[in-house]
Amino acid sequence: MQASAARPESVRHIALGSTGSTNAEAMAHARAGERGPLWITATAQTEGRGRSGRNWVSPAGNLYATLLLTQPCAPPVAPQLAFVAGLAVHDAVAKSVPQLASRLALKWPNDLMLDGEKLAGILVESETSPVLQIAVGVGINCTSHPSGTLYPATDLAAQGAQVSAETMFAALAQSMQRRLMQWNEGSAFAQIRSDWLARAGGLGKTIRVRLPEREFSGRFEGLDESGRLLVQENGRVTTVTAGDVFGLESAP
């Protein structure tokens, strides 16, 4: 990670009005020669998206932010950034709304849940030419949430907490920096993994996993050394690299 990212106040920040997608904006800057670290935020998104190309409803009032990083790690460990970001989001919400902290849980691989409902999501995207550039996108529901989603959703205002997107971003910028420093370009992922599991919902409980080719249930055993989901299914452990998971929503 570049030395200029040593403190949150040293990281540049571009604040936009309504835009297509903060991740898309970050990658456009990267292709134009930007090397970051750079935060891009927007008041609203017209083409917000989540994992697997799903639409991310993005009205004004919520936080939409992307951190652009250049060569923050070796390419094989780049997926670990989803866990780093997950912890940063958990930290930011818990600090901003401490009365809700005990009701928060991380859901593999990239969501923050509040009482079993989705409060925040993370989308990590990358490009490798001419150098590794990674956009760490975060969406936090501060004042509104969508309906009819794959997972039930909620927002802070609906839980009686009044937190502006600006206040939440300030907390996120600080917590992201702390977690990136802890991660140390991937050399300390074991600690990140341990901290993530301590905040995970459903650990040791039965969960349901939906893969492109099948759906199955089993006991959530944890994460392997690279962050893949471990599920005990019929006496054997299945390793899941990507999929939709249900049942990890409740607080630890």
pLDDT band at residue 5 under the 50/70/90 scheme: very low
Domain contains 222? yes
Contacts of 85 (CB under 8 A, 6+ apart): 110, 122, 124, 136, 138, 176, 179
Judge whether residue 172 has pLDDT over 90: yes
pLDDT band at residue 3 under the 50/70/90 scheme: very low
Q: Are residues 180 and 235 in the same domain?
A: no
Q: Are residues 96 and 212 in the same domain?
A: no
Domain contains 252? no
Q: Are residues 63 and 177 in the same domain?
A: yes
- pLDDT for the residue 96: 98
- pLDDT for the residue 50: 57
Judge whether residue 225 has pLDDT over 80: yes
3-state DSSP assignment of residue 135: strand
> What is the domain-level CATH number for residue 146?
3.30.930.10
Judge whether residue 29 has pLDDT over 60: yes
- pLDDT for the residue 129: 87
Q: Are residues 240 and 149 in the same domain?
A: no
Q: Are residues 38 and 108 in the same domain?
A: yes
Judge whether residue 80 has pLDDT over 70: yes
pTM to 2 decimal places: 0.91
Domain contains 69? yes
Q: Are residues 227 and 164 in the same domain?
A: no
Judge whether residue 221 has pLDDT over 80: yes
Q: Please state, in angstroms and rounded to a whole number, the distance separating the CA atoms of residues 87 and 183.
A: 11
- The DSSP symbol for 56 reads -
Decide which of 244 and 78 is more confident: 78
- pLDDT for the residue 53: 54
Where in the sequence is the domain holding 216, given as residue range(s)?
Answer: 206-246
Are 203 and 24 a contacting pair, CB within 8 Å?
no
pLDDT band at residue 202 under the 50/70/90 scheme: confident
Domain contains 33? yes
Q: Are residues 107 and 229 in the same domain?
A: no
**Strands 12-19 and 111-114, bridge-based pairing:** unpaired
Judge whether residue 108 has pLDDT over 80: yes
The mean pLDDT value for 201-216 works out to 89
Total domain count, the chain: 2
pLDDT band at residue 219 under the 50/70/90 scheme: very high
pLDDT band at residue 48 under the 50/70/90 scheme: low
Judge whether residue 164 has pLDDT over 80: yes
- pLDDT for the residue 49: 66
218: which strand partners? 207
